[in-house]
Structure 1
Amino acid sequence: MPSIQKPQRVRRVPRALPSRFKRQRVLIIGCGDVGQRTARLWRPMERRISMELPGGAQSISADVPDLIAEKGAQPHHRLPLVRALTSSPEKCAALRAQGILPLQGNLDDAASLRRLAGLAQRVVHLAPPAAIASTEGETVASVLDQRTRHLLRALVRRANSAPALVYGSTSGVYGDWQGAWVDEARPLRATTARALRRVDAESQLRGWALRFQDSGARVHVLRIPGIYAGDREGGTPVARLLRGTPALRAEDDVFTSHIHADDLARAVALALWRGKPQRATNVADDSALRMGDYFDLAADLWQLPRPPRISRAEAAQQLSPVLLSFMSESRRVANRRMKTELGLKLRYPTVQQGLAAAFQLSKDLPKK
């Protein structure tokens, strides 16, 4: 006989989406100029970016998702959800307008960072260490990065997993190499408090990654030289040239390296997925210029007087200690690892090309 019982309903349990359909969450700490340029690479409405070629008015388009989705770089087809930590409530509206979800918090206030744990699978840490002023000169505390210490403690609090993290350090950690090429295997010879704070941050990050590696923690450090761009505040030497600040004469001059802000943003984005764990990568262009030649190049482009050249002894009498500290270290930053491991193809391989593009941009901007 047929059963008179009603058929039992089978409750369907929702199936988890495959990992390739899950949207990654990225948290940017220190979302200033470079952080915002990086976030723009993931904006759906800006999938195609037009930029002026350094040599003229011809323009090209670059498919931004294809940049991040290069083989091995971005395993998920969906663009990530981007959040940014900010200590300034007035910046929240501007961040939202760029498609970035702002979170209020302050790296100097550890209690304000408690909700960061488990918030993102990937973190971009671009916040500089806080400088500690002292009337008696530099102290031990002034070469420690307390901001990074607060952040790392917050990222693993009440969370079962730790994120992958990219840290924006400085090539200043290498110190002075008297003009030699410096790759990532060179010992760190930092002497200034500014650079020693970065050395401390790198050390903290390595220790954190090793401690929590079983929970997924990994750190990739980017060592960054001078950043420039025509649409970046203070991103060209024009203001310095207008002030007439002198440069060192050729026999006393130092080698310095640079990276265009757009190329740096692309390096940050690629390092989030391609960067090898517990490893450092120099991010620099192919130029090998002395500092004075860089200023001369900009002066010629903007048709301004070249800076006067003075001896090192004269510089010690005329220039500030901070400016002198940049003139006391000479090195050329090698970028082979950036090209071979991150796979970054520079849009501005040389300062000459980048400054030419900046000059063209300044001509195209409306006059105030």
Structure 2
Amino acid sequence: MTDTLLSIGHGYSAQALAARLCPGWRVIGTTRDAAKAAALRAAGVEPLVWPGTDLAPALDRATHLLSSVPPGPQGDPVVAELEAQLRAADHLEWVGYLSTTGVYGDHDGGWVDESTPLSPTTSRGQARVAAEAAWAALGLPLHIFRLAGIYGPGRSPLDRVRAGTARRIVKPGQVFSRIHVEDIAQVLAASMARPRPGAVYNVADDEPAPPQDVIAFAARMLGRPLPPETPFEEADLSPMARSFYAESKRVANNRIKAELGVHLRHPDYRTGLAAEVETERDARRKA
């Protein structure tokens, strides 16, 4: 039987995983936007528009299942829509749910690991805790991945510096953990090769850092002027952006290394951003 991944909510991180698995795997990916189906097909993914399509045939064929769908006001939409079918899917070898390190809440810059009690301070974090519990209650071979801030090609500080939208917002003591999308794909693939139902993994790089330092490094990499520093209290931020600054913590990643044998390709933001710049230079040289 061909290994088949059903990827529900086939977005940025899941697409990086699919690129790692293909060829060799059959990947079925859902999208809410029918216009994106052609792009998925061109990448070797069988697209399904969902909601709006019966997922039962794809779920029956799948050996592995990944959900990247965030919870909404009414809870996890995948569990709400497919609970009975998921409970009956005892043929699945591996199930992954992409969560967030926001479930840990604020630790005033201190370290958290997978044993840290969940104490989210934002409504988004609280919704993620509820979604993790809903998935855990299904009785599936579940693996939960708590992702730090995601960056990578097309979604990085480099793009914001180029666009002129990057800001160095300074809040004393504020640190964030982050992870390159290629390393998310690496962790997921390693877990699929070494299933441990019930496992929870933090997915973060080795170096939590103040956000203004990351923007400054990106500007220097591109030879652009450093955006001026703006005190947090004076920054005109959306409620969503402001809520990110309500939590400060350093996310430990020892488990993905010890259990899954992962060696991060981008262990810190400097190597991650430098690799992106070098890839862009190679592409221009070949053009």
- Partner of 1:118, secondary structure, is helix
- Corresponding residue for 1:228? 151
- 1:283 aligns to 2:203 (yes or no): yes
1:222–1:196 distance in 2 versus 1, CA, 3 Å = same
Return the match for 2:263 from 333, 341, 345.
345
Offset from partner CA, 1:94-136 (integer Å, 9 cap, x none): 2222222223321xx6x74344442312101112234xxxxxx
Return the match for 2:39 from 86, 94, 99.
94
Take 2:41 and 2:64, find their aligned partners in 1: how far apart are those partners?
20
RMSD over aligned CA atoms reads 2.4
1:246–1:143 distance in 2 versus 1, CA, 3 Å = farther
Structure 2: 5+ residue stretches without partners: none
- 1:103 aligns to 2:32 (yes or no): no
- The residue type equivalent to 1:306 in the other structure is L
The alignment's TM-score, normalised by the length of structure 2, stands at 0.89
- Do the aligned residues in 2 keep the contact of 1:222 with 1:283 (CA within 8 Å)? yes
- Corresponding residue for 1:170? 100
Take 2:149 and 2:217, find their aligned partners in 1: how far apart are those partners?
16
Query: Which structure 2 residues correspond to residues 192-203 of structure 1 after superposition, within 5 A?
Result: 192-203=122-133
- Do the aligned residues in 2 keep the contact of 1:118 with 1:155 (CA within 8 Å)? no
- Do the aligned residues in 2 keep the contact of 1:297 with 1:352 (CA within 8 Å)? yes
Return the match for 1:297 from 214, 217, 229.
217
- Corresponding residue for 2:26? 81
- Corresponding residue for 2:181? 261
- Corresponding residue for 1:247? 169
- Partner of 1:319, secondary structure, is coil
- Do the aligned residues in 2 keep the contact of 1:117 with 1:156 (CA within 8 Å)? no
- The percent of aligned pairs where both chains have the same amino acid is 35
Offset from partner CA, 1:141-186 (integer Å, 9 cap, x none): x2722333324433345x5645521111111111111111110000
- 1:127 aligns to 2:69 (yes or no): yes
- Corresponding residue for 1:16? none
Return the match for 2:279 from 361, 365, 368.
361
Take 2:250 and 2:82, find their aligned partners in 1: how far apart are those partners?
32
Query: Between Structure 1 and Structure 2, how many residues are aligned?
Result: 285
- The residue type equivalent to 2:42 in the other structure is A
- 1:189 aligns to 2:112 (yes or no): no
1:105–1:154 distance in 2 versus 1, CA, 3 Å = farther
- Partner of 1:102, secondary structure, is strand
The alignment's TM-score, normalised by the length of structure 1, stands at 0.71
Query: Which structure 2 residues correspond to residues 42-61 of structure 1 after superposition, within 5 A?
Result: 42-44=21-23
- 1:148 aligns to 2:79 (yes or no): yes
Take 2:143 and 2:220, find their aligned partners in 1: how far apart are those partners?
38
